[in-house]
């Protein structure tokens, strides 16, 4: 694992460097300085940088070469992920005051400014992704950028992450839902597949697409992302029960406090852990079908995600 740890550290560092390159400049902000400061505070509050790392790893799996095409999308997807966390923490949603060991954006800047910071990050993400057109060296790469933008918008929107968040919020206030086990399971899977898995699918698909992968290969990476995303969110649910508040950097037990539907509340802890392992094993098997080595970074990363404690 020491080699994996070294690679992970290097890839996260690289993702951080790419991300900071594209963040809005505070010295150019003028009257919108407060919004820009709140945006940058949100993005620079730490994090695993999982999505840009996955995107870059997928790009490498399919032997991509033009990293100038890739980098704006790496930054964009982390901006979108961050905006979703900023809004998720708001008083009207989960009302969390700490994330990653720091005060949440609304706790520092107020709910109104935090809402605008999230809005700003979502919009700025697409402004950033559009910069990839300037790096396209031919018509084929231009078409890839267009397709990547379509994937990014689709997976982040109402039929992706936003739709999953909406279903999650609705489920919190529908106690009758919990009484029907079949309906509860269908709802939980919809929430996890859209709220979390959609953006992980997007990361892997865009990385492959910009590397020149075929449609079949991009579709396969979508399947990998679905399984990884489900496993990742289930592990989050598990950590909310078993985790250490100091290690996680946020309060534990918020799911139960907010009466949220989770895999632990539905399946129990032991069954949830087994499901996470099977999903990660299935994702690794799909990656090997695409040429990933058994001990490759991408496969090691998937197994790392289910063993994480934060």
Query: What mean pLDDT is reported for the chain?
Result: 92
Query: What's the whole-number mean pLDDT along residues 251-260?
Result: 61
* Interacting residues of 29 by C-beta distance below 8 A, sequence separation 6+: 35, 36, 37
- Which token pair is 196? 């979390």
3-state SS, residue 277:
helix
- What pLDDT score was predicted for residue 251? 57
Q: Where are the alpha helices (DSSP H) in the chain?
A: 2-22, 33-43, 50-61, 67-88, 105-109, 111-129, 139-156, 161-172, 175-179, 181-191, 197-211, 215-242, 245-248, 254-257, 263-267, 269-289, 297-307
- What pLDDT score was predicted for residue 305? 82
CA–CA dist 35, 260 (Å, integer): 31
Considering the domain 2-307 in this protein, what is its CATH number? 1.10.600.10
3-state SS, residue 242:
helix
> Does the predicted TM-score (pTM) go above 0.95?
no
Given a cut of 80, is residue 300 above it in pLDDT? Answer: yes
- What pLDDT score was predicted for residue 174? 75
What whole-number percentage of the chain has pLDDT above 70?
Answer: 93
* Digit-coded pLDDT (tens) for 76-89: 999 999 999 999 99
* Digit-coded pLDDT (tens) for 148-204: 999 999 999 999 999 999 998 888 877 676 678 888 899 999 999 999 999 999 999
CA–CA dist 191, 198 (Å, integer): 10
Q: Give 100's pLDDT tier (boundaries 50, 70, 90).
A: confident
Tell which residue, 258, 237, 92, 292, has the closest CA to residue 171: 258
Rounded alpha-carbon distances, angstroms, from residue 50 to 112, 160, 204: 28, 18, 11
- What pLDDT score was predicted for residue 244? 61
In terms of pLDDT, which residue wins out, 284 or 294? 284
In terms of pLDDT, which residue wins out, 254 or 162? 162
* Interacting residues of 120 by C-beta distance below 8 A, sequence separation 6+: 24, 35, 36, 38, 39, 83
Given a cut of 70, is residue 114 above it in pLDDT? Answer: yes
Query: What's the whole-number mean pLDDT along residues 6-10?
Result: 95
Q: What is the DSSP letter of 63?
A: T
E strand or H helix at 294: none
- What pLDDT score was predicted for residue 254? 59
What whole-number percentage of the chain has pLDDT above 90?
Answer: 77
In terms of pLDDT, which residue wins out, 166 or 293? 166
Q: Give 258's pLDDT tier (boundaries 50, 70, 90).
A: low
Q: Give 253's pLDDT tier (boundaries 50, 70, 90).
A: low
Task: Output phi, psi for 98, to 5 deg.
Answer: -135, 140
Neighbours of 137 (CB within 10 A): 11
Per the listing, tokens 């963040």 go with 23
C-alpha radius of gyration, the chain, whole number: 19
* Digit-coded pLDDT (tens) for 189-242: 999 999 999 999 999 999 999 999 999 999 999 999 999 999 999 998 999 888
Given a cut of 70, is residue 123 above it in pLDDT? Answer: yes
Query: What's the whole-number mean pLDDT along residues 108-119?
Result: 98
- What pLDDT score was predicted for residue 246? 55
């Amino acid at each position: 694992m020491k080699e994996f740890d070294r690679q992970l550290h290097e890839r996260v560092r690289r993702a951080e460097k790419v991300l900071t390159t594209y963040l809005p400049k505070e010295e150019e902000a003028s009257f919108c300085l407060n919004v820009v400061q709140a945006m940058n505070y949100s993005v620079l509050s730490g994090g695993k940088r999982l999505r840009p790392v996955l995107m870059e790893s997928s790009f490498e799996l399919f032997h991509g070469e033009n990293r100038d095409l890739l980098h704006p999308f790496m930054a964009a997807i982390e901006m979108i992920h961050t905006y979703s966390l900023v809004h998720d923490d708001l008083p009207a949603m989960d009302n969390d005051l700490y994330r990653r060991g720091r005060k949440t954006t609304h706790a520092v800047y107020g709910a109104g400014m935090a809402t605008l910071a999230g809005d700003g990050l979502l919009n700025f993400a697409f402004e950033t992704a559009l910069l990839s057109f300037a790096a396209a060296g031919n018509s084929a790469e231009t078409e890839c950028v267009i397709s990547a933008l379509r994937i990014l918008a689709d997976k982040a929107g109402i039929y992706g992450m936003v739709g999953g968040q909406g279903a999650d919020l609705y489920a919190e206030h529908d106690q009758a839902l919990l009484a029907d086990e079949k309906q509860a399971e269908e709802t939980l899977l919809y929430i996890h597949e859209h709220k979390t898995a959609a953006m992980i699918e997007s990361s892997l698909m865009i990385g492959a697409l910009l590397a020149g992968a075929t449609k079949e290969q991009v579709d396969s990476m979508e399947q990998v992302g679905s399984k990884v995303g489900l496993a990742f969110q289930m592990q989050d649910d598990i950590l909310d029960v078993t985790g250490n508040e100091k290690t996680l950097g946020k309060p534990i037990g918020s799911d139960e406090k907010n009466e949220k539907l989770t895999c632990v509340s539905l399946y129990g802890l032991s069954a949830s852990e087994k499901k996470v392992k099977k999903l990660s094993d299935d994702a690794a098997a799909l990656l090997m079908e695409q040429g990933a080595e058994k001990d490759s970074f991408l496969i090691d990363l998937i197994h790392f995600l289910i063993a994480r404690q934060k």
